């Protein structure tokens, strides 16, 4: 008897998704609630759990297919292999020959002939093929995403030799890149494993690869283009002396982390400074809805976070009511969830204003695009020592360019410049944040 695995409810107004990756293959044992597939929606990746214990049956759709809520993805067949006996050593020993049959075609073609003589009492040479399934098991457990698979192929890394830091020990692209950098020169192994390389050798540097855009990337592209087509975008700039904030962080960093269990970062200062500006200039925190303007008496700040499949913007709700610790904890939690691919639709729903920090990647200056239906976005950039004039003297100060992109249909230039100036003043004199000035 088999059980059907269906596409779960994906969130408000989300009716379909793309099959991003199969985490289990036909014949693999599965447990109740164990993820068997990953679906990509417009905003997040959703893992589909198994409804029962059993063995992975037929996959009814392929990776890259679009499926609707309620559609049947696969079947789970009855099987003692997944009835909770997986950890038992005797079972593993007994099941080792069949495991070679299922795994060998994927990784070690030579293992297939070894399956027949496997029942021999104790052949010493059989230990060599027996060792092969271990890397294969690690490979399956890693549940490689398309980006990780490309990195593995490009850098010639054996995924079985790399320890994953993602959710459930899965490999991330960063894990593969780190392994590639730490990988010693191995001229002896390279000629053997690079045997297929001659196919690409005739045209070095001119290889092409076509990769289907993920649903998240497609949505990002549509929304950003829609913002350019719909909003009257304009950007105003200013620069900020970061001396006071840097001094405050240095002075209170250890005691802050000891008390709150989270590091004191720059984002907390900018989030609180933005709250001051949005309260004083309400239009920057508003949005256009048809022929009406919607003003918000709360501040929900969308914080741009880099995820494996693209940029996502989870929302720190009621940021104006949170302290520094609350904001830093929320941002830290979102960053971890983005890396693990566990952000939910609720995490990114809403938001009245966005902060994007391109400085972590080394950006000196940029013109960020608003996140519809919001009307403004604050762009942060890298901090660098520059000569500035203070009290008639040329001094070296840690400076940062900040940018505010806004929808000119709703926000006038005077309001945008005023809001950015409030943020600048609050960062240069953080006491203003404490006394709400």
Where in the sequence numbering do the catalytic residues fall?
408, 412
Q: Which two tokens stand for residue 145?
A: 């995403």
76 phi/psi in degrees, rounded to 5? -115, 120
Task: State how far the Cα of 292 lies from the Cα of 224, in Å rounded to an integer.
Answer: 22
155 phi/psi in degrees, rounded to 5? -100, 0
Q: Closest by alpha carbon to 359, among 310, 319, 398?
A: 398
Given a contact cutoff of 8 angstroms between Cβ atoms, the answer to whether 282 and 295 are in contact is: yes
Residue listed under structure tokens 């099959």: 19
End-to-end C-alpha distance for the chain, whole angstroms: 68
Q: Closest by alpha carbon to 5, among 53, 63, 64?
A: 53
Given a contact cutoff of 8 angstroms between Cβ atoms, the answer to whether 91 and 98 are in contact is: no
Q: Which two tokens stand for residue 284?
A: 């920057």
Residue 216: how many CB atoms within 10 A of its CB?
22
Q: Which two tokens stand for residue 30?
A: 């599965």
Which segments of 141-282 are extended strands (E)?
A: 233-241
Task: State how far the Cα of 36 lies from the Cα of 77, in Å rounded to an integer.
Answer: 13
Q: Closest by alpha carbon to 7, among 46, 42, 57, 44?
A: 46
Burial class (CB in 10 A: 0-12, 13-18, 19+), 158: middle
Q: Closest by alpha carbon to 415, among 375, 383, 385?
A: 375
Name the pairing type of β-strands 35-40 and 233-241. Answer: unpaired
Residue listed under structure tokens 């840690």: 398
| CA-atom Rg of the chain in angstroms | 27
402 phi/psi in degrees, rounded to 5? -125, 150
Name the pairing type of β-strands 353-357 and 376-380. Answer: parallel
């Amino acid at each position: 008897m088999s059980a059907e695995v269906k596409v779960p409810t994906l969130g408000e107004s989300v009716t379909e998704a793309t099959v991003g990756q199969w985490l289990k293959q036909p014949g693999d044992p599965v447990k109740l609630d164990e993820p068997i597939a990953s679906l990509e929606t417009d905003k997040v990746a959703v893992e589909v759990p198994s409804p029962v214990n059993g063995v992975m049956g037929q996959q009814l759709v392929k990776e890259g297919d679009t499926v609707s809520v309620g559609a049947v993805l696969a079947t789970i067949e009855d099987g003692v292999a997944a009835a909770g006996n997986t950890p038992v050593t005797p079972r593993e020993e007994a099941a080792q020959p069949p495991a070679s049959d299922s795994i060998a075609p994927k990784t070690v073609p030579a293992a297939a002939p070894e399956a027949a003589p496997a029942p021999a009492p104790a052949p010493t040479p059989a230990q060599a093929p027996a060792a092969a399934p271990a890397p294969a098991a690690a490979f399956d457990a890693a549940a490689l995403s398309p980006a990780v698979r490309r990195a593995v192929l490009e850098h010639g890394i054996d995924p079985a030799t790399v320890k994953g830091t993602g959710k459930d020990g899965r490999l991330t692209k960063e894990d593969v890149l780190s392994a590639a950098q730490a990988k010693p020169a191995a001229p002896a192994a390279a000629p053997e494993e690079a045997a297929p390389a001659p196919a690409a050798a005739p045209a070095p540097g001119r290889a092409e690869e076509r990769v289907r855009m993920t649903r998240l990337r497609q949505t990002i592209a549509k929304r950003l283009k829609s913002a350019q087509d719909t909003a009257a975008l304009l950007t105003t700039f200013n620069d900020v002396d970061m001396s006071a904030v840097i001094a405050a962080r240095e002075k209170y960093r250890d005691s802050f982390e000891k008390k709150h269990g989270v590091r004191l970062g720059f984002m907390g200062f900018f989030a609180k400074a933005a709250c001051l500006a949005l309260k004083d200039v309400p239009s920057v925190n508003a949005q256009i809805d048809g022929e009406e303007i919607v003003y918000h008496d709360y501040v929900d700040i969308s914080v741009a976070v880099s995820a494996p499949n693209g940029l996502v913007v989870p929302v720190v709700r009621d940021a104006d009511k949170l302290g520094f610790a609350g904001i830093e904890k929320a941002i830290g939690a979102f960053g971890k969830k983005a890396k693990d691919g566990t952000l939910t639709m609720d995490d990114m729903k809403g938001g009245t204003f966005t902060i994007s920090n391109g400085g972590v990647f080394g950006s000196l200056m940029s013109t960020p695009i608003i996140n519809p239906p919001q009307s403004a976005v604050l762009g942060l950039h890298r901090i660098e020592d520059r000569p500035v004039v203070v009290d008639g003297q040329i001094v070296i100060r840690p400076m940062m360019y900040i940018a505010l992109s806004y929808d000119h249909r709703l926000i006038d230039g005077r309001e945008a410049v005023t809001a950015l100036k409030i943020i600048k003043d609050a960062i240069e004199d953080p006491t203003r944040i404490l006394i709400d000035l």
